[in-house]
Amino acid sequence: MAIPVIMPRQGQSVESCIITSWNKKVGDTVEKGEILFSYETDKSSFDEAAPESGKLLAIFHEEGDDVPCLENVCVIGNDGEDAAQFAPAGEAEAAPAEAAPAEAKAEVAPEAAAPVTAQQISGAISPRARALADKTGADLLKAAPTGPNGRIIERDVQSLVDRGLTVSGAASAEYKTAVEGSGINGKVMLGDLNAPAAAQEVPAIAPAVSGPEYEDVKMPNIRKIIAKQMCASLSGMAQLTLNTSFDATKIMDLRKSLKAGGEALGLPNITINDIILFAVSRVILNHKGVNAHCLEDTIRYFNTVNLGVAVDTPKGLMVPTLFHAEKLSLSELSKSAKGIIKAAQAGSISPDLLKGGTFTISNLGAMGIESFTPIINPPQTAILGVDCVTRRLKEVDGEDVVYPAMGLSLTFDHRVLDGADAARFLKDLVVALENFDLLLTK
Amino acid sequence: MPKSQYVDPGKAFEAGYIHFEDIPVCQYNKTLKEELKLYSKEDMIRIYRDMQIIREFETMLNDVKTKSNYNGVEYNNPGPAHLSIGQEASAVGEAYSLDINDLSFGSHRSHGEILAKGLSSIEKLDDKELYDIMKEFLDGAVLSVVEKHMNAGGNVKELAINFLLYGALAEIFARKTGFNRGLGGSMHAFFIPFGLMPNNAIVGASAPIALGAALYKRSNHKPGIVISNCGDGATGRGPVLESLNFASMDQITKLWGMDGKFSDGGMPILFNVFNNHYGMGGQTRGETMGFDMVARLGAGFNPSQMHAERVNGYDPLAVIDAVSRKKKLLLEGKGPALLDVVTYRVSGHSPSDSSTYRTAEEIEAWKAADPIEAYKTKLVLGKVATIAELDQIKEDITKRMTEIMKLAINDEISPRMDLNKEPAAIASMMFSNQKVVSMDPSREADVMMPKEDCPRVKEIKGKIRTSTDANGKPVSKMKMYNVCDGLFEPIIDKFYEDPTLIAYGEDNRDWGGAFGVYKKMTEAIPYHRFFNSPISESAIVGSAVGYAMCGGRAIVELMYADFIGCAGDEIFNQMAKWQAMSAGILKMPIVLRVSVGSKYGAQHSQDWTALCAHIPGLKVVFPSTPSDAKGLMTSALNGTDPVVFFESQRVYGFGEEFMKGGVPEGHYEVPFGEPDIKRAGKDVTILTIGAVLYRAMEAAKILEEKYGISAEVIDTRSIVPFNYEKVVESVKKTGKVLIVGDACERGSVMRDMASNITELCFDYLDGPPVVVGSRNWITPSFELEKSFFPQASWIIDALAEKILPIPGYVPTQNFTEIEKIERSKKGI
């Protein structure tokens, strides 16, 4: 029976061998053990001996051929036997055996793409990204970090630059929290930075702070609430502030006389703040736009005055509510206000008293603030800031007269009312305060 | 496995006995009368003087160590002092019949041998030769001190004795005027012009080195013999036993002659054991060995029993007699030989030795048998000299030694190297950095045929020097010029260019090296330049060190990088250190080829570049393309520094894929230290070490095609030295870098490079340099290797997880920080 002779594989890594010489030709008789042909690998030479005796029926590869290992080289058998059946199938060279690289087939799982969420922002930034930001003035506060562990990397800064989100050199030192830029392509300019004080509490990726010393403190819950509300307030409303002042001579005189004799009449210690609360409660119902809530696409005008009183407490800003202020006498109002302020400062205030306000008053006058932009407590539509007293001149009967002027800063939501509406409220309030004695008699 | 030697199963099982000859034990018994016929009166007195010089030198050091005072001169020597008081007769007896062509290597306890052989050489050299040697050595730095400050009475030999004692002592005291600028010290002092070769602080380490010196003499037809000195304790060390066997191997006398074309003499080496009975405190006879007498070992190594003899080392004339006879045998081509010279170290192993292992009676008994006193008595009784004459000699020696010591401790005359003033003094000696095409241009190389007729040279001529043909179709592996060919070309060129070049290792000759690098070279290069070594890695590398010390160039091969451990001392302490330890006097042109395997499991697949790169004094390269293999091998072979040449078995069969026009023809050199950009890119840098280059290229392709990320792939090629400039330039461009290699990542070269790149590029980095190496495991079997060695996908994983998250990419490997900490905690 005819048998094929294969090209042996001399070692696992050998893929093919070259036939260097044939000792026999087709038709020769071969004895078992006789050398049929010699061949070599890239390392060594070998002889292939006939596995059986017989006649060399066919030779499939000539001297010099590079024969893949295990392929048939020749056939030994008896005359008349079919050798063709052993012919190697086709001469097409096999593709190089190096298997196609087993790619880590990226079955794109969208959820695995792990979009960077706010929680992942670590504040870390690569040295390279930092250098690029310094060079381009990229607004890092607006960067969406895509590096490992929320690190801002070069491409994130490049993306800012590409979108034109940059900060001017002058503004960068003061720039602590993201602001819409007013410059070309939205560049943040120095003038864009008059953000309310509270906004500085917003967690942000701060630009390089000089000096390595700092302390990381977890935000207490109240701060988080303040932060959230303030940001929501600023980003959700069209706020602007009007400033004015009034002659505080009358209310200061009143305060003086109350101080001197109030106790004897069983009156509480009525403060300037109480007086202002009282004035507002009497004037505001004529200006329904500032005593309202803005709810999605409706405006809720109130028929009662629930005054929010901003209180500086050890925990942070709290705003307890003085309900139905329009119904209280000055002394009642004063007592109630004292009660809620005390409770807020002690931290014992009922949560029910921390909501429901229709308008808020924030008094920084005691700290010497001459003017500021209070932030509206949503969904309210306005907030009154009370400033300190300064000495001013006014002309009375052709003569310059010095008088105590107290500032008022009203921030209002332009979506709900217009500047003139707000101004009218302020004007009425000024009249009421300047003529407080008359108001009391009303 | 030469085909000329038939292994006959019939003979292999033949019955019979092994016969041994008697090994002589202290058979010297010449009478004084007979001796007086052999030696002149002057010779006999000089023998006494030389022993007395050694005794005084060692006594001085002992006094300095134990009392900080010798003969009224105060000094504190913090360095080591392994003294040989008691062994003087052995040293002087050995040196007596040696001349400057005979090289002697010693141990940590070799002050006596240095002095004895130095004094013997001084006696044999004529005055002019002697003076020229001293004048030329270190530009006369040593000579000028003794010429200026000591009076030799116009006698050159006396001047030379001062020179020898001062050069050795200044070396021991770490002075710049010492024989090796003070960089060798007590255990390493040597002076080549007198045939005093380096001594070694590693027990037994001189044996393979001395073997290499003998190999140099044998392969380059040089006159003289080599003495390998060691103590009896050293006979327990593998490198010593390997060397005894290597020197005795049959092929030297049976095959190297090549039918009368070349010499068929044996290895001209005498293994001389100064048998002082102790290896530190371990008693070799009776405790730590079983041979009873060292001389017995000879019977184990060849049928001539290495002509082994045991000799009375307390009688200088008995030792002279034995060494002279052995020298004659070696010069007749009957080497190697073995001597067991019985002696005793009266001094401690070191001055801190409290002799807890021996009794006071034993020491007293040996003191009573003092070789110098016994010899003195012999001279007096034989009327060769009077007691007064001999005492005068001793007194003169003490005076001379005191003067020498005063000079050697004088900071003005004998300053130390000032590393504040010359901060690069040692750094500049770590490498010789020379380009020497032939170590001996005066000679033609021994070859068997013109280079053009070498079958392999012819075969390579017909090969295609690129991996793809003009149509981009892969060239058949059999016809393609591959990495093996790239290594072969410069090696065969060097065989014809440099007559001193030899190459050996396991299965180098007929097999052509386990991976065929030397295939078909057998026909062209004779045995004595290209042979199969025994499986003795220590002897392979150690002998190359000795070969290079003598002025030759060697390529030795360890088959697998994993076997580096078997030659640890030879690679890390010997090959790496001798250039600097000799203060630049020695060159070390050795290429140590090691191949990194794969598919062969835990002990045959390791990339140990980090081990070699860690050791100062070694150059380390790892090419992975045919052109780089050729270019770096050419540089290595033209250089004068020791190079550990890493090769990867994964790529031996690879053709040239990178260099346009294919592997350069003719002489082609790639300078050491320069990495090569194999693929230009702009988004991320991938720095590769070794064969991982091809996986990095695959990763770069995927990154480009699937994710639009353009990777720059840089092949380090060299590890020591390494120029970071090109890498820094690339990282400044990309800001991202991955360092990839097949070594286990912990403590790897990759880690070292990552740290350096962090320092050099910190402000430009967009993420930490990330290392992608193999896991810190054993290498598993081939089928599991893809979970062990870095794959193309791992490179992308590491990039996506640690530097540049890729939208839509799902990593397969965990490169997170949590995982890193966990693995580190577990040590895996």
pLDDT band at B558, cuts 50/70/90?
very high
Residues, chain B, total? 828
- Per-residue pLDDT at B139: 93
* Cβ <8 Å between B516 and A107: no
Between CA B112 and CA B110 the distance in angstroms is 5
Average of per-residue pLDDT across A394-416: 90
Question: In which order are the strands placed within the sheet that holds B226-231?
Answer: B196-199, B103-106, B226-231, B269-275, B337-342, B309-312
Query: Is residue A134 within 8 angstroms of chain B, CB to CB?
Result: no
Which chain B residues have a beta carbon less than 8 Å from that of A71? none
Of A17, A102, A109, the CB nearest to B810: A109
Which chain B residues have a beta carbon less than 8 Å from that of A110? 808
Q: Write the CB contacts of A275 (distance below 8 Å, at least 6 apart in sequence).
A: A251, A254, A255, A330, A433, A436
Residue B193 has pLDDT above 80, yes or no: yes
Mean pLDDT of chain B: 95
- Per-residue pLDDT at B616: 98
Kindly state the tokens that stand for A38: 């010699």
pLDDT band at B1, cuts 50/70/90?
low
Q: Which residues pair with B191 in a beta bridge?
A: B196
**Range from A104-118, A316-330, B518-532, B687-701 carrying the lowest mean pLDDT:** A104-118
Query: Is residue A124 within 8 angstroms of chain B, CB to CB?
Result: no
Q: Write the CB contacts of B162 (distance below 8 Å, at least 6 apart in sequence).
A: B146, B150, B152, B400, B404
* Cβ <8 Å between A44 and B516: yes
The answer to whether A274 and A255 have CB atoms below 8 angstroms apart is no
- Per-residue pLDDT at A279: 93
Average of per-residue pLDDT across A307-326: 88
Query: Is residue A149 within 8 angstroms of chain B, CB to CB?
Result: yes
Quick one: which of B627, B710, B631, B621 has its CA closest to B673? B621
* Cβ <8 Å between A108 and B653: no
Residue in B with minimal Cα distance to A96? B474
Of B477, B511, B809, the CB nearest to A42: B477
- Per-residue pLDDT at B493: 98
* Cβ <8 Å between A147 and B698: no
Q: What is the rounded radius of gyration, in angstroms, for the C-alpha atoms of chain A?
A: 45
Average of per-residue pLDDT across B39-61: 96
Between CA A345 and CA B117 the distance in angstroms is 100
Q: Distance (Å) from the C-alpha of residue A210 to the closest C-alpha of chain B?
A: 17
Which chain B residues have a beta carbon less than 8 Å from that of A129? 766
Of B702, B706, B735, the CB nearest to A128: B735
Of B474, B519, B599, the CB nearest to A96: B474
* Cβ <8 Å between A103 and B793: yes
- Per-residue pLDDT at A184: 64
- Per-residue pLDDT at A45: 76
Q: What is the pLDDT of residues B417-438, one digit of tens each?
A: 999 999 999 999 999 999 999 9
pLDDT band at A204, cuts 50/70/90?
very low
pLDDT band at B191, cuts 50/70/90?
very high
Q: Hunting for tokens 């029976």 — which residue is that?
A: A1
One CATH from 3.40.50.2000, 1.20.140.10, 3.40.1790.10, 3.30.559.10 for A223-441:
3.30.559.10
Query: Is residue A218 within 8 angstroms of chain B, CB to CB?
Result: no
Residue A221 has pLDDT above 80, yes or no: no
pLDDT band at A185, cuts 50/70/90?
low
Of A42, A96, A153, the CB nearest to B478: A42
The answer to whether B776 and B610 have CB atoms below 8 angstroms apart is no
Q: What is the pLDDT of residues B270-297, one digit of tens each?
A: 999 999 999 988 999 999 999 999 999 9
Q: Write the CB contacts of A367 (distance below 8 Å, at least 6 apart in sequence).
A: A388
Average of per-residue pLDDT across B702-728: 97
Number of Cβ pairs < 8 A linking chain A and chain B = 97
Q: Distance (Å) from the C-alpha of residue A105 to the closest C-alpha of chain B?
A: 8
Q: Distance (Å) from the C-alpha of residue A31 to the closest C-alpha of chain B?
A: 25
Predicted TM-score of the model (pTM): 0.74
Of A43, A44, A154, the CB nearest to B735: A154
Between CA B205 and CA B234 the distance in angstroms is 9
Which chain B residues have a beta carbon less than 8 Å from that of A106? 706, 808-810
Which chain B residues have a beta carbon less than 8 Å from that of A108? 808, 810
- Per-residue pLDDT at B675: 98
Which chain A residues have a beta carbon less than 8 Å from that of B706? 106
- Per-residue pLDDT at A189: 72
* Cβ <8 Å between A15 and B803: no
**Range from A187-201, B229-243, B786-800 carrying the lowest mean pLDDT:** A187-201
pLDDT band at A112, cuts 50/70/90?
very low
Out of B82, B108, B188, B604, pick the active-site residue. B604
Between CA B828 and CA B821 the distance in angstroms is 10
Residue B318 has pLDDT above 70, yes or no: yes
- Per-residue pLDDT at B154: 92
* Cβ <8 Å between A128 and B698: no
The answer to whether B586 and B579 have CB atoms below 8 angstroms apart is yes
Between CA B563 and CA B537 the distance in angstroms is 7
* Cβ <8 Å between A131 and B764: yes
Kindly state the tokens that stand for B255: 């095959």
The answer to whether B758 and B725 have CB atoms below 8 angstroms apart is no
- Per-residue pLDDT at A203: 40
The answer to whether B256 and B264 have CB atoms below 8 angstroms apart is yes
- Per-residue pLDDT at B703: 97
Burial bucket for residue A399 (CB in 10 Å: 0-12, 13-18, 19+): exposed
Query: Is residue A66 within 8 angstroms of chain B, CB to CB?
Result: yes
Fold of A3-84: OB fold (Dihydrolipoamide Acetyltransferase, E2P) (2.40.50)
Question: What are the boundaries of each domain within chain A?
Answer: 3-84, 124-216, 223-441
* Cβ <8 Å between B810 and A44: no
- Residues of A acting as catalytic residues: 414, 418
Contacting A with CB below 8 Å, chain B residues are 474, 476-479, 482, 484, 511-512, 515-516, 519, 599, 653, 698, 702, 706, 735, 762-767, 786, 791-793, 796-797, 801-805, 807-812, 817
Residue A119 has pLDDT above 70, yes or no: no
Q: Distance (Å) from the C-alpha of residue A414 to the closest C-alpha of chain B?
A: 43
Residue B88 has pLDDT above 50, yes or no: yes
Which chain A residues have a beta carbon less than 8 Å from that of B516? 41-44
Residue A199 has pLDDT above 70, yes or no: no
Regarding predicted confidence, which is higher, A353 or B822? B822
Q: What is the pLDDT of residues A232-272, one digit of tens each?
A: 888 888 999 999 999 999 898 888 888 888 777 778 888 88
Residue B731 has pLDDT above 90, yes or no: yes
- Per-residue pLDDT at B187: 83
* Cβ <8 Å between A15 and B477: yes
Mean pLDDT of chain A: 81
Q: Distance (Å) from the C-alpha of residue A143 to the closest C-alpha of chain B?
A: 15
Longest dimension (CA), chain B: 102
Of B804, B810, B817, the CB nearest to A153: B804
Which chain A residues have a beta carbon less than 8 Å from that of B762? 127
Domains annotated on chain B, with CATH: 32-413 (3.40.50.970), 451-648 (3.40.50.970), 676-826 (3.40.50.920)
Average of per-residue pLDDT across A314-338: 88
Query: Is residue A98 within 8 angstroms of chain B, CB to CB?
Result: no
Of B479, B482, B796, the CB nearest to A104: B796
Residue B351 has pLDDT above 80, yes or no: no
Q: What is the pLDDT of residues B611-640, one digit of tens each?
A: 999 999 999 999 999 999 999 999 999 999
Query: Is residue A356 within 8 angstroms of chain B, CB to CB?
Result: no
Quick one: which of B692, B700, B774 has its CA closest to B734? B700
The answer to whether B527 and B258 have CB atoms below 8 angstroms apart is yes
Q: What is the pLDDT of residues A96-111, one digit of tens each?
A: 333 334 443 333 333 3
Best residue of B598, B766, B787, B813 to probe chain A, by most A CBs closer than 10 Å:
B766
User: ipTM score here?
Assistant: 0.71
* Cβ <8 Å between A101 and B702: yes
Of B516, B807, B808, the CB nearest to A43: B516
- Per-residue pLDDT at A378: 87
Annotation marks residue B604 as catalytic: yes
Best residue of A122, A153, A158, A159 to probe chain B, by most B CBs closer than 10 Å:
A153
Q: Distance (Å) from the C-alpha of residue A33 to the closest C-alpha of chain B?
A: 20
Percentage of chain B modeled with pLDDT above 90: 91
